[in-house]
Structure 1
Amino acid sequence: MIIVFPYMRVAGMALFPFILVKNASFKADAILINHERIHLRQQAELFILPFYILYLLNYVINLFRYRAHYPAYRNIVFEKEAYEHEAEMNYLAKRKWYRFLVYF
């Protein structure tokens, strides 16, 4: 389910089981929605809470490594997978379980 939540600082966010988007026009952005669906799959594989813990831990480690928000964010393993495959609309149909592990 896609929910419009205009108070976000980002265009979209996966918060299992929902996809939140900043404005209604983003509901039609197939690449953004596919990116967030990849995150939903990652969250489901890790039983939700561990995903958020690992996501945050990976971000904090990356902050020390890169010393800046954007490269720290882009190098989170979950984001690497989502960005690499966001334009592949059939990716989730062929994706293997725990595929994000190859990005560690």
Structure 2
Amino acid sequence: MKVIVAKYLTPVGFRAITLFPFVIIRSKEALLDPHLLTHERIHIHQQRELLVVFFYVWYILEFLIRWLLLRDRKAAYRALSFEREAYTNENDPHYLKRRSLYSFLSYF
């Protein structure tokens, strides 16, 4: 995982964004947050197993569907299977050692 600290490359309202193979973090202080780093590592694994491009296609389609259903961007974002897996397991530093392939599907 290659980490870049770049305030202006991170979307407003987010502390980090993962664009395989990079994690772009808004501030140096965020580098000290192990939960954030685990969250972003989970996204790296998700992107790798879907060969990156399919991750983004799925992510965008799922977001649009959930946004239409929920009528709330933040709720749609939090309901995404990729985000649910990452948020649920970001507090477990050993999660990636036991994570099976396509684990995000169980959060769909």
TM bucket (normalised to shorter chain) is: over 0.9
Please give the TM-score of this superposition, normalised by the length of structure 1.
0.97
Q: After TM superposition, give the deviation of residue 6 of structure 1 in Å.
A: 0.5
TM-score, scaled relative to structure 2: 0.94
Corresponding residue number in structure 2 for 1:2: 3
Cα deviation for residue 37 of structure 1 reads 0.4
Unmatched 5+ stretches in structure 2: none
Could you tell me which runs of 5 or more consecutive residues in structure 1 were left unpaired when the two chains were aligned. Answer: none
Secondary structure of the residue that 2:7 maps to in structure 1? coil
Task: Report whether the alignment pairs 1:30 with 2:34.
Answer: yes
Q: Choose which of 57, 62, 67 in structure 1 pairs with 2:66.
A: 62
Paired residues, what number?
Answer: 104
Report the CA distance between 1:62 and its aligned residue: 0.5
**Residue 71 of structure 1 is aligned with which of 38, 63, 75?**
75
Runs of 4+ in 1 over 2 A off after TM superposition: none
Is 1:21 the equivalent of 2:25?
A: yes
Q: For 1:92, which of 87, 91, 96 is the aligned residue?
A: 96
Whole-angstrom distance in 2 between the partners of 1:86 and 1:26: 14
Alignment RMSD, CA only?
0.6
Q: Cα deviation per residue 1:32-72 (whole Å; 9 max; x = unaligned)? A: 01000000000000000000010010000011110011110
